[in-house]
Amino acid sequence: MKLVYTVICLLLSSTLLTCGAQDKDGVFSTYKTRELVFKVYDGEPSYDLDDPNLRLKHRLLPNELEFARANEVDEVSLHSVILMPDVLEEGLLTLEFRRSDLEEAFVQGLFFRKDPKIVNVHPFAQRGVEAVLTDERLILNIHSGVIFHLRNDMENAQSYETFSNPEVVAKITQATGEIFVSLDPILTKFRLRDIYAWARPSIDMEAPGVVVEKKGERRTDIRVPKEAVKFPELYPPRVIEGP
């Protein structure tokens, strides 16, 4: 568990990171990272490390949202939030939509004209999200290291519409790894309205140049070269022939 805590402390840091502030009685410690805040009792995190909420931003508390594990043939509706495993772990989720449910302006802008105003902003074209268009389907491959909010708009473009059908659902055709899908689209629509496709970096602790120095009971310094910080890959949207 201590190893897991170390990895959490490292998350989203590529330079020097300091964790730890001890209370007067020396029993409880509060650790802050850029992703979450939690209490530690006798050196061990006091929350359930399997809680998917911990993959979200620190303003969401553990157990605040209800999640289910993703399974093949399940359906995913708009405003579902998908939590993929860490980028260093195995994970792939494939969603399929009917092409007839897509707005033609979205299809043309993302796949054919490759309009930078759409490609650079649309969540379907961000790191770790692979969009593939066929004659009949839109296939989304969501890779490890991504928090993905399935929605109809784009960042800073609330009137934009990806789907012509507001009740659209996607079918899960592949689910590999520890993947969670939120169960309350109404809650996530309002509480996570600033999340679109968030690529979460991680650190390869085995990479050359990673240095961990214990600075006493209350401080550990970790120096990480850029090469040890791993991001999800970037996949350009593409079109293939066939159904």
Answer yes or no: do 75 and 120 share one domain. Answer: yes
Answer yes or no: do 21 and 39 share one domain. Answer: yes
Answer yes or no: do 72 and 187 share one domain. Answer: yes
Rounded CA gap, 208 and 225, in Å?
A: 8
Query: Which amino acid, one-letter code, is at 137?
Result: R
> Helix, strand, coil: what percent of the chain each, to 5?
15, 35, 50
Answer yes or no: do 37 and 108 share one domain. Answer: no
141 phi, psi to nearest 5 deg = -100, 115
**Count of structural domains within the chain:** 2
Answer yes or no: do 115 and 194 share one domain. Answer: yes
Helices then strands, each counted (H, E), the chain: 4, 19
Q: How many other C-beta atoms are found inside a 10 Å radius of the C-beta of residue 82?
A: 23
Q: Are 102 and 166 in contact (CB under 8 A)?
A: no
Answer yes or no: do 27 and 128 share one domain. Answer: no
Q: Give 15's pLDDT tier (boundaries 50, 70, 90).
A: very low
Answer yes or no: do 26 and 132 share one domain. Answer: no
Q: Are 224 and 15 in contact (CB under 8 A)?
A: yes
Answer yes or no: do 34 and 104 share one domain. Answer: no
Answer yes or no: do 71 and 55 share one domain. Answer: no
Q: What is the mean pLDDT of residues 28-34?
A: 38
Of 34 and 178, more confident: 178
Q: Give 236's pLDDT tier (boundaries 50, 70, 90).
A: very high
State residue 54's pLDDT score: 60
H-run or E-run covering 119: helix 116-119
Question: What's the pTM value of the predicted model, to 2 decimals?
Answer: 0.74
Answer yes or no: do 82 and 172 share one domain. Answer: yes
Q: Tell me the range of 8-22, 73-87, 96-110, 217-231 where mean pLDDT is highest.
A: 96-110
Owning domain of residue 125: 67-198+233-239
Q: What is the mean pLDDT of residues 21-37?
A: 37
Rounded CA gap, 10 and 230, in Å?
A: 12
Rounded CA gap, 174 and 212, in Å?
A: 38
pLDDT tens string 88-134: 999 999 999 999 999 999 999 999 999 999 999 999 999 999 999 99
Answer yes or no: do 74 and 137 share one domain. Answer: yes
Answer yes or no: do 185 and 130 share one domain. Answer: yes
First-to-last CA distance in the chain?
46
Of 137 and 39, more confident: 137
